[in-house]
């Protein structure tokens, strides 16, 4: 076992230490004996080592925060040219927020800080792997030369037969990495990469495309908001750009003396964000959009909206909003919220401008998610704060250099797979994505992938999807890579992120972009002209040369100076704050047609709404193998190392369920067993469960908890096609066994100690 005595002190530090300790002993000699004893080797007398801080980027979630990495020399066991040995190298020791970066401004969340454990993870693949025998999960290590020649040979074979049988599926696709992948695919004569990213919010993108002409995620100016109403968005925990939103939240609460804004959360299960709300509104599942229209109805009907409708179209929409179908009395029964309360909320909103509405989480994951999102967009239009201080806005586009993420419907992996357009795939690339874990079993993603003759994965770990690969070409960890990103949300100035490797690679891995470039070179076939760069670094440099040629960037001293400053500060941003920008001018202000949510399973047989939610520690499950996050108590349940099913105590009493009882959750599509956790913050007819546990692979994650995807019905959001993960009904039964529930608090219901 490693004892971890890591005081790898340099000689100079040792001398400093000696001098300092000596001085302390002399100075303290005249004190009381107790203190002399105490000064023997106190922690405060260690002299800290010399560290450098290097900028890098966080890749743990799509928010794209900038980080600084504390790098200190240490001894590490590494592989160089096939030889294993111990060398002294700079090692990443701590991640903190990059203070200059416009999104997170020096702050970083728990998940971001745990990114360090991805680099040093004991399960990381240390060299290319080749499948042994059938697709049963057995691999053996091979060399890069062997792996690459096999991949190139297979690729040549497929490309000669039918180039469009080569497909690429990636997680989050942004920036130059996305450009490179798509250029590589184009040079092979096939279609652009598909994306599978469960946290990508395709419903919200589609709604914003329809309402604002921007298929992008919104940003918010909470610092200046006086009223926030969130429909299910866990914006302080996991949704969109949580760090940037939390910074704004803190200012909105206490940063403006005498002006503390009100924050209302609409949801059925109290999230970490909802726990911070001034008012918590549990509407019926799937009626969030209707509630938003009800609020808009009161605002319009009572003439409370600020200013006048801008266009004839919006005047028409407001006339339609006045219709009795949206009156609080009509919608009260559907939403479960009293008419008087809806009226009061609307009046409060009008009395405290600027007010802003946002939507996320389960509200978007019902079958009528698009309606809910469009209704909230309409409420924002009526509130009249889009693009203004205190409202929502879109981060300024950075399209001159990097095509910002646009609508990904044609590149959506799930819809392509379900439409059968991947059936004749001969060759599949997988890049940092785990669709087998993140989709309901009903879609049979695993079975469909198994039919593909040859799969190459760039995974750093064996997971439920990469285990199906024939060859794994492990990527560097993000801290060992050239990284670039275009943060989509949370910044009010045009931002491009870029970072050089913070440390040298530990294992015999290669950066995925460099591997693609090498494959292209080996294949010949004119690929060299489309992809003229030897390395990803060269490609990034040329993208910044392009930036310099554009008018957006005024760096008079030429490329070298620009490149140096970009590497020093972790990217490029123009420093021109563009809020208020008026960028979110509504395109369409039609009142969306009300669509009722539908749920899989009958109410009689399956009495409960099943609501999975994005885990605070593991998000969709991609972070479940990090021990720091496994042992992080969930903010609401305080559970560590497992998963749980939240049940209202009244419901539990009725069904004689006690805390910790192992409950069998059954839907029309499957069952799972999970311990019950009694939670007063959940509706009587709703049960909730975090996503992210129930993995088959990973030493810290395997066999722990359960994956809610086992019961989620394979139902899609209407008109969008993404998974409607909140549209399942379930029944509960007791197994008679005790579940493994590792609580770090005692009982859920306890009084806060009296504070004087």
Partner 1 sequence: MPVLGRLAGEGTRSPLGNRLMSHHWGMAVDLDRCTGCEACVIACQAENNVPTVGEEAARRSRTMHWIRIERYYEGEFPNPRVRFRPVLCQQCDNAPCEPVCPTYASYHTSEGLNAQIYNRCIGTRYCANACPYTVRTFNFFNPAWDKPLHLQLNPDVSVRQVGVMEKCTFCVQRIKAAEIQAKAENRELREGEPTPACVQCCAPKALVFGDLNDPASEVSRLSRSPRGTKLLGELGTQPKITYLQRESWNGEDR
Burial of 265 (0-12, 13-18, 19+ CB in 10 A): buried
Comparing CB distances to partner 1, the nearer of 155 and 683 is: 683
Residue 435 in the binding site for partner 1 (CB under 8 A): no
- Residue 713 · residue 745 · CB < 8 Å: no
- Contacting partner 1 (CB under 8 A), which of 53, 79, 100, 106? 106
Burial of 522 (0-12, 13-18, 19+ CB in 10 A): middle
As measured in angstroms, the least distance from the Cβ of 698 to partner 1 is: 12
- Contacting partner 1 (CB under 8 A), which of 138, 278, 447, 546? 278
Comparing CB distances to partner 1, the nearer of 135 and 740 is: 740
- In three-state form (DSSP H/G/I as H, E/B as E, the rest C), the secondary structure along 52-93 is EEEEEECCCCCCCCEEEEEEEEEEEEEEECCEEEEEEEEEEE
Comparing CB distances to partner 1, the nearer of 94 and 734 is: 94
Distance CA 343, CA 329 (A): 10
Distance CA 747, CA 744 (A): 10
Interface region with partner 1, contact rule CB under 8 A, candidates 190-198, 212-220, 267-275, 478-486: 267-275
Nearest to 681 by CA among 267, 228, 234: 267
Interface region with partner 1, contact rule CB under 8 A, candidates 5-13, 54-62, 380-388, 434-442: 5-13
Q: Which residues contact 547 (CB under 8 A, 6 or more apart)?
A: 400, 401, 496, 553, 562, 572
As measured in angstroms, the least distance from the Cβ of 250 to partner 1 is: 3
As measured in angstroms, the least distance from the Cβ of 151 to partner 1 is: 28
31-90 residues in contact with partner 1 (CB under 8 A) are: 31-32, 34-35, 37-38, 40-49, 72, 74, 76-77
Comparing CB distances to partner 1, the nearer of 270 and 357 is: 270
What track of x and - describes contact with partner 1 for positions 717 through 746 (by CB under 8 A)?
-----------------------x-x-xx-
Helices 512-523 and 536-549: crossing angle, nearest 10°? 100
240-259 residues in contact with partner 1 (CB under 8 A) are: 242-243, 246-247, 249-250, 253-254
- Residue 296 · residue 321 · CB < 8 Å: yes
600-619 residues in contact with partner 1 (CB under 8 A) are: 616
- Contacting partner 1 (CB under 8 A), which of 407, 522, 555, 640? 640
Comparing CB distances to partner 1, the nearer of 315 and 650 is: 650
The sign of the torsion formed by the CA atoms of 327, 330, 333, 339 equals: positive
Interface region with partner 1, contact rule CB under 8 A, candidates 2-10, 196-204, 369-377, 720-728: 2-10
222-241 residues in contact with partner 1 (CB under 8 A) are: 236-237
- Contacting partner 1 (CB under 8 A), which of 638, 664, 718, 734? 638
Distance CA 483, CA 264 (A): 38
As measured in angstroms, the least distance from the Cβ of 131 to partner 1 is: 25
Following DSSP, what letter does each residue of 34-54 receive, concatenated? HHHHHTSS-GGGPPPPP-EEE
Interface region with partner 1, contact rule CB under 8 A, candidates 155-163, 277-285, 381-389, 709-717: 277-285
Pairing between strand 645-647 and 279-281?
A: unpaired
Distance CA 355, CA 84 (A): 60
Distance CA 331, CA 336 (A): 8
Strands (E), 387-524: 392-393, 427-431, 454-457, 471-472, 483-485, 495-499
Comparing CB distances to partner 1, the nearer of 47 and 304 is: 47
Total interface residues for partner 1 by CB under 8 A: 110
Nearest to 740 by CA among 640, 672, 596, 650: 640
337-396 residues in contact with partner 1 (CB under 8 A) are: none
Comparing CB distances to partner 1, the nearer of 277 and 726 is: 277
Comparing CB distances to partner 1, the nearer of 468 and 636 is: 636
Residue 94 in the binding site for partner 1 (CB under 8 A): yes
What is the end-to-end Cα distance of the chain in Å, rounded?
A: 47
As measured in angstroms, the least distance from the Cβ of 370 to partner 1 is: 27
């Amino acid at each position: 076992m490693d004892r971890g005595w890591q005081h790898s002190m340099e000689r100079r530090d040792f001398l400093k230490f000696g001098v300092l300790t000596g001085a302390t002993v002399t100075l303290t000699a005249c004190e009381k004996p107790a203190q002399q004893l105490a000064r023997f080797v106190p922690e405060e007398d260690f002299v800290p080592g010399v560290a450098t801080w290097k900028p890098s980027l966080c890749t743990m979630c799509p928010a794209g925060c900038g980080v600084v990495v504390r790098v200190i020399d240490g001894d590490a066991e590494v592989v160089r040219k096939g030889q294993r040995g111990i060398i002294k190298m700079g090692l990443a020791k701590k991640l903190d927020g990059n203070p200059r970066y416009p999104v997170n401004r020096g702050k970083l969340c728990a998940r971001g800080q745990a990114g360090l454990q991805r680099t040093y993870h004991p399960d990381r693949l240390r060299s290319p792997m080749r499948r042994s025998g059938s697709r049963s999960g057995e691999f053996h290590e091979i060399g890069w030369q062997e792996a690459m020649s096999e991949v190139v040979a297979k690729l040549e074979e497929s490309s000669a037969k039918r180039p469009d049988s080569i497909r690429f599926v990636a997680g989050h696709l942004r920036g130059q990495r996305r450009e490179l992948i798509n250029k590589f695919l184009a040079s092979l004569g096939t279609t652009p990469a598909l994306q599978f990213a469960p946290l990508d919010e395709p419903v919200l993108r589609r709604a914003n495309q329809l309402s604002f002409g921007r298929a992008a995620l919104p940003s918010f100016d909470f610092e200046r908001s006086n009223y926030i109403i969130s429909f299910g968005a866990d914006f302080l925990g996991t949704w969109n750009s949580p760090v940037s939103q939390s910074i704004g939240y803190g200012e909105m609460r206490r940063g403006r003396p005498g002006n503390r804004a009100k924050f209302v959360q609409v949801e059925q299960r109290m999230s970490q964000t909802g726990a911070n709300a001034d008012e918590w509104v549990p509407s019926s599942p799937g009626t969030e959009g209707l509630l938003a229209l009800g609020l808009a109805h009161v605002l319009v009907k009572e003439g409370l909206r600020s200013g006048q409708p801008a266009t004839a179209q919006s005047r028409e929409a407001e006339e339609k909003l006045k219709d009795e179908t949206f009156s609080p009395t009509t919608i009260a029964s559907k939403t479960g919220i009293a008419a008087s309360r809806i009226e009061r909320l609307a009046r409060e909103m009008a009395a405290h401008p600027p007010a802003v509405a946002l939507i996320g989480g389960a509200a978007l994951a019902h079958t009528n998610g698009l309606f809910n999102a469009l209704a909230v967009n309409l409420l924002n239009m009526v509130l009249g704060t889009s693009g203004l201080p205190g409202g929502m806005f879109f981060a300024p586009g950075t399209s001159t250099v990097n095509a910002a993420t646009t609508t990904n419907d044609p590149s959506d992996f799930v819809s392509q797979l379900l439409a059968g357009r991947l059936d004749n795939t001969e060759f599949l690339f997988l890049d940092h994505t785990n669709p087998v874990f993140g989709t309901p079993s009903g879609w049979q993603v695993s079975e469909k992938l198994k039919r593909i003759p040859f799969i190459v994965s760039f995974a750093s770990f064996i997971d439920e999807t990469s285990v199906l690969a024939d060859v794994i070409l492990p990527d560097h960890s993000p801290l060992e890579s050239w990284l670039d990103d275009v943060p989509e949300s949370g910044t009010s100035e045009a931002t491009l992120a870029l970072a050089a490797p913070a440390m040298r690679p530990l294992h015999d891995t290669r950066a995925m972009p460099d591997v693609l470039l090498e494959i292209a070179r080996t294949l010949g076939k004119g690929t060299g002209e489309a992809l003229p760069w030897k390395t990803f670094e060269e490609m990034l440099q040329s993208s910044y040369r392009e930036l310099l040629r554009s008018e957006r960037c005024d760096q008079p001293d030429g490329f070298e100076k620009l490149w140096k400053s970009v590497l020093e500060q972790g990217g490029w941003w123009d420093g021109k704050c563009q809020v208020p920008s008026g960028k979110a001018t509504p395109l369409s202000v039609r009142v969306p047609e009300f669509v009722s949510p539908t749920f899989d399973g009958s109410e009689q047989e399956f009495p409960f709404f099943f609501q999975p939610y994005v885990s605070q520690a593991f998000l969709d499950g991609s972070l479940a193998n990090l021990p720091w996050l496994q042992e992080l108590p969930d903010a609401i349940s305080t559970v560590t190392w497992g998963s749980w099913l939240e049940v209202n105590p009244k419901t539990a009493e009725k069904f004689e369920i006690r805390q910790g009882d192992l409950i069998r959750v059954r839907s029309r599509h499957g069952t799972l067993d999970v311990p019950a956790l009694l939670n007063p913050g959940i509706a009587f007819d709703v049960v909730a469960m975090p996503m992210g546990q129930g993995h088959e692979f990973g030493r810290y994650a395997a066999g722990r908890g359960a994956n809610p995807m086992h019961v989620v019905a394979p139902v899609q959001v209407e008109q969008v096609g993404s998974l409607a993960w909140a549209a399942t009904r379930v029944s509960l039964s007791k197994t008679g066994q005790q579940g493994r529930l590792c609580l770090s608090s005692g009982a859920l219901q306890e009084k806060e100690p009296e504070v004087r």
